[in-house]
């Protein structure tokens, strides 16, 4: 009979199962076998979670870039509008000065 420790990662987007077998070795104690399996499980979990964090950070960076681009476009449009208004104001002022 083979024994293993297992873990399950559950998120709204996915589920992921992990398993690390307890390797039967007559030269090690049960605690040593369990410790070895836990270290294997820990390494697999860390690797998986690191990949997820990198993917999450990448998508966050992409959305941040999109937001910054939208902000830039909005600011550029506001500056264009202000420039057009600045061009209009002197003309109106000139008209008032001519009629006075």
Please report the pLDDT score of residue 73 as a whole number: 63
Q: How far is CA 98 from CA 46, 85, 90, in A?
A: 77, 20, 12
pLDDT averaged per 10 residues in sequence order, the chain, 100 residues: 88 91 86 92 94 88 68 65 59 55
pTM: 0.55
* Residue tagged 């697999």 (tokens): 44
Give the whole-angstrom CA distance, residue 10 versus residue 59.
20
What is the C-alpha separation between 5 and 19, in angstroms, rounded? 6
What is the H or E stretch that residue 1 is in? Answer: none
């Amino acid at each position: 009979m083979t024994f293993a420790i297992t873990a399950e990662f559950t998120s709204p987007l996915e589920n992921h199962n992990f398993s690390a077998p307890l390797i039967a070795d007559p030269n090690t104690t049960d605690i040593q076998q369990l410790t070895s399996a836990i270290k294997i499980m820990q390494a697999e979990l860390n690797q998986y979670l690191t990949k997820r964090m990198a993917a999450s950070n990448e998508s966050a960076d992409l959305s941040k870039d999109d937001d910054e681009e939208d902000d830039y476009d909005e600011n550029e449009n506001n500056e264009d509008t202000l420039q057009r208004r600045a061009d209009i104001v002197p003309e109106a002022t000139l008209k008032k000065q001519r009629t006075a």
